[in-house]
Amino acid sequence: MTITTHRYTPTDPRLGRHVKHDSRSAAYAVGVMPKSAIRSVEWPRHIPILDQANLGSCVPNNAPEHLGTDALGYTGVSSVVIPKADTKGEFTAGSLWPLAEPFAVNLYRLLTRLDSYPGQWEPDDTGSDGLTLAKALVMLGFSDKYQHAFSYAAVVSALQAGPVSLGIEWENSMYTPGADGKITIDYSSGVAGGHEIFVRKFDADNDRVWVDNSWSESWGLDGRAWFQGSELATLLKRQGDVTVPHLIGAAPIPTPTGITAQAFYDQVKAAAATAGLK
């Protein structure tokens, strides 16, 4: 077992995502579907764009976003009831709208007690990571398991079944998307910190991955923007990670139907043996 961590020192208090990669996660990888099976998809969101203000709670903000967005076999909000923090009562599903941000802040308290970073919210605004978020959703009974996408092809495969959480380093050039929503990734601009963002849309025709940011609707196009696929693939290689929580009641993530690496190896080995090669 190997656990790799990297704690950013953000220049912006909102950039509260850190790196925590566990080698055991490889056993829970999302499979890659054949390109012919990949379609454009946009999972309906039933809660507004959130605003984490100046708190480093970008990671837990992904929780109400998952719970308030549809997935394969799952209808966001309509099947979710979140307990009010200061009473024993429960709200109806529709009340997730006004409770989404307070829920994320309370979840931040839990994450900072589960993760390995010094300090706890509050008062310590220490940030957290996507792996700890996935574990917390299981602990709270919202999810029964989670998976990981280890490549861009796996990300767009996972999006065929539902939203994902994307953890990346945030370059200074990424603060202001273009007029069309494009996020510019300029590594020479410098790393501002780490950020966790919510992904529920893939445009297969243009190879664009759209993200929802928890910086209010004033960011990007009403709180949304997009990465070009090839650029996101490179960004993922820079200690990026993608967690895929399986919410209670959601359909299983589709099993890839393309040839696996092992099957390809077996075919090559058999062909070599037939040709008399070792």
89: confidence class by pLDDT, cuts 50, 70, 90: very low
> CA angle, corner 142, sides to 145 and 255, nearest 5?
35
How confident is the model at residue 100, as a pLDDT? 83
pLDDT tens-place string over residues 63-77: 999 999 999 999 887
Query: Residue 191: in which H helix or E strand, if any?
Result: strand 191-203
Position of tokens 């959601």? 250
Alpha-carbon distance 235 to 152, whole Å? Answer: 10
- Quote the pTM value: 0.87
| Percent above pLDDT 70 for the chain | 83
Q: Residue 54 pLDDT > 90, yes or no?
A: yes
Q: Where are the domains of the chain?
A: 3-274
Q: Residue 82 pLDDT > 50, yes or no?
A: yes
Comparison of pLDDT for 253 and 258, the residue scoring more: 253
Least confident piece of the model among 2-6, 166-170, 189-193: 2-6
> CA angle, corner 192, sides to 130 and 206, nearest 5?
70
Q: What is the mean pLDDT of the chain?
A: 89
Q: Report, as an integer, the average pLDDT of 74-97.
A: 55
| Percent above pLDDT 90 for the chain | 78
How confident is the model at residue 78, as a pLDDT? 63
What count of other Cβ atoms lies within 10 Å of the Cβ of residue 103?
Answer: 21
Q: How far does CA 125 lie from the centroid of its chain?
A: 21
Question: Which CATH architecture does the domain made up of 3-274 adopt?
Answer: Alpha-Beta Complex (3.90)
How confident is the model at residue 87, as a pLDDT? 42
pLDDT tens-place string over residues 102-132: 889 999 999 999 999 999 999 999 999 999 9
